[in-house]
Amino acid sequence: MKTWQRSLLLVVGLLLVGTAAYAQLPDPKVHDFPIGGNRAAVWVVAQLHILFAAFILGAPIFVVVSEILGWKNQDGRYERLAKEVTKVTVILYSMTALTGGLFIFVLLATYPQLTAWLINHFFAVFAVIYPLLFIAETIVLYLYWYTWDALQGPKKGRHIALGVLLNVIGLATLIVIDGPTSFMNTPVKSAEGLDLKTFIETTATLWDKMNNFSWWPLNIHRTVGNVVFGGFITGLIAAYMYLMAKNDEERAFYDWFGFIGNLIGVGALLVLPFAGYLLAYELCDYDASICPYMMSDQLSMFFEMQGAMVGLIFLASNYYIWLSLKRIEGLERIRMRTTTMILMASIPVVFMFIWTKFPIPDPNAFILPACWVAAFLIAGRFLKWTVPAQTMVKVAFLMVIVGNAIWMTPHAFVATQALAPDDGSLSLPHGELSLGFITVDWGMLALMPAKNAAAFTLVFVTIINYILYNRAMRQGRIIWGKIDFVAQFVLIFLAFSAIWTMGLMGAVRELTRKYFHVFNLQYDFTPEAFTPTLAYSSWVITGVTLTFYIVVSFAIVLTLRIGKDKAHADAPKAVPAAAGGK
């Protein structure tokens, strides 16, 4: 083990033991950050830590899958992808530990009483379970990385087993630390009728506190989110390497690399809105006042921004598919059923009406949409009209735009219900009046059935595009490395937007605690207990995203570019490959 790795372990150990000791100090001093204030300091450091952690937990999931695919199919590209992503992961792992340590220091300096309170309530987690998992993960990650070349051939299975173990430990670490995090949002209530404070301070066990309302929704959401994040960062790595590529062979490999990263990112992205919906549902189920605070009051415009970002991400991912399609020879022969195109175009309107009439979870809310889709699939068996792939994709783009426009249609036009005008009307420049909220006639566009239909449209369109792409790959010939250069900027855009959106929604989850550190339990007595504006938040989120990008860019260039020659010499030949072939 290298000196810096031993130091890393030592820092982690000292931090965790030292934190527990510091927490016991009576009335520790509160320090004030001179620039931005204490809340912004914690916000920035916590967000940075979570971004690094998201990558080091998300990337190994598909790294192992990639390694298995490479081993089973004897395709060297998967092996090389897995190894290069792991190389970046190892560097970013140290950044995760360092920002994690910084996070604890900043918390202790700025919110010592809250930190002490949390550590006392989750002492076994912070002082025993989490450190042990972290150390185990460190050891297994380094074992996984340093035994890569040694455990080849017949020993490959052992290396893959190490990778699986790394993921199991990583997932366990995430689940454990999500306990206190989710507890701050939804502290468990007593089943015996005790008030919340008495129950938490006297009766509740560690398991009671861990197993709170939003624990599993948060675990699911973060796991899926980490895979999305890992996929898009893989796309970013590919884009950087493509930009720095010096020959066609490198361009071919990193073109394929980017395609796989985008596939993983988009694949998991399709599930993410539903995982987010589950988390929001559980938060609202815990305390219904959280719902209006998020959707129609102080955080309403954060969701408006989220709608814009999700639309941009779906547009960009579909545009990447389009650019990928354009480099497939024989694309002009690919056609899709007209009925599929009509089905795709009908979804926003038809599903919105069905879900307005039969709100989820009414059985009809599932049966009727299924019947609608089935009717078109059956009709497609008899009606043989087809449209070219290009037309299909263009209609798909139109539907992404329409779907997202519905998603972005606001229910109210004010950033808080507290500021809604008394008579419900807003004056427009030429004397006409607008209601403070969307008119009843068009109100359905702003309600959840319409939003669900819009989300389903975005997901459905993307799936259809991938089906089309898959068909084109099987029937045509893909020329890796010949993708439009703009595609690399699309990959960079996707990673940047995904990180920015993660920052936005992370802020939303934290802010739902309102003026509490621990919702309904620990008041935030600091002057910064108010909800920040979206404008202010966007500056913080952008600053964090750019900082993360600078570090990641440096890590990619340092690990993959500087050591390129050696890696390149070991790499298997990758181009040209027939589409669909192994």
Residues 462-491 that bind other proteins (CB under 8 A): 484-486, 489
Residues 2-61 that bind other proteins (CB under 8 A): 27
Residues 225-244 that bind other proteins (CB under 8 A): 242-244
Nearer to other proteins by Cβ, of 146 and 554: the residue is: 554
The answer to whether 322 contacts other proteins (rule: CB under 8 A) is yes
Cβ atoms 552, 54 nearer than 8 A = no
The answer to whether 546 contacts other proteins (rule: CB under 8 A) is yes
Nearer to other proteins by Cβ, of 73 and 533: the residue is: 533
Residues 383-442 that bind other proteins (CB under 8 A): 393-394, 397-398, 401, 404-405, 408, 410-420, 422-424, 426, 428-429, 432-435, 437-439, 442
What's the sign of the alpha-carbon dihedral 348, 353, 356, 361? negative
Tally of CA atoms within 13 A in the half-sphere of 196 that contains its CB = 14
Cα–Cα distance, 260 to 75 (Å, whole number) = 14
Nearer to other proteins by Cβ, of 72 and 246: the residue is: 246
Closest distance of CB 133 from other proteins, Å: 34
Closest distance of CB 541 from other proteins, Å: 8
Closest distance of CB 128 from other proteins, Å: 30
Residues 236-295 that bind other proteins (CB under 8 A): 242-246, 251, 285, 287-289, 291-293
The answer to whether 496 contacts other proteins (rule: CB under 8 A) is yes
Tally of CA atoms within 13 A in the half-sphere of 136 that contains its CB = 17
Cβ atoms 467, 343 nearer than 8 A = no
The answer to whether 139 contacts other proteins (rule: CB under 8 A) is no
Cβ atoms 163, 64 nearer than 8 A = yes
Among 38, 99, 339, 531, binds other proteins (CB under 8 A): 531
Cβ atoms 122, 179 nearer than 8 A = yes
Of the candidates 141, 251, 353, the residue with the CA atom closest to the CA atom of residue 568: 251
| Cβ density class 282-312: b for 16+ within 10 Å, e for less | bbbebbeebbebbbbbbbbbbbbbbbebbbb
Nearer to other proteins by Cβ, of 243 and 467: the residue is: 243
Torsion of CA 249, 250, 256, 259, to 10 degrees: -150
Nearer to other proteins by Cβ, of 65 and 309: the residue is: 309
Among 146, 366, 539, 554, binds other proteins (CB under 8 A): 539
Closest distance of CB 503 from other proteins, Å: 10
Nearer to other proteins by Cβ, of 163 and 311: the residue is: 311
**Burial of 396 per CB tally in 10 Å (0-12, 13-18, 19+):** buried
Structure-token pair, residue 210: 């861990």
Nearer to other proteins by Cβ, of 61 and 325: the residue is: 325
Residues 193-212 that bind other proteins (CB under 8 A): 195-197
Closest distance of CB 96 from other proteins, Å: 23
Could you give the C-alpha distances from 354 to 44, 56, 371, in angstroms and in order? Answer: 43, 42, 11
Closest distance of CB 61 from other proteins, Å: 27
Q: Total binding residues for other proteins by CB under 8 A? A: 91
Closest distance of CB 44 from other proteins, Å: 15
What's the sign of the alpha-carbon dihedral 512, 514, 517, 518? negative
The answer to whether 538 contacts other proteins (rule: CB under 8 A) is yes
Cα–Cα distance, 537 to 539 (Å, whole number) = 5
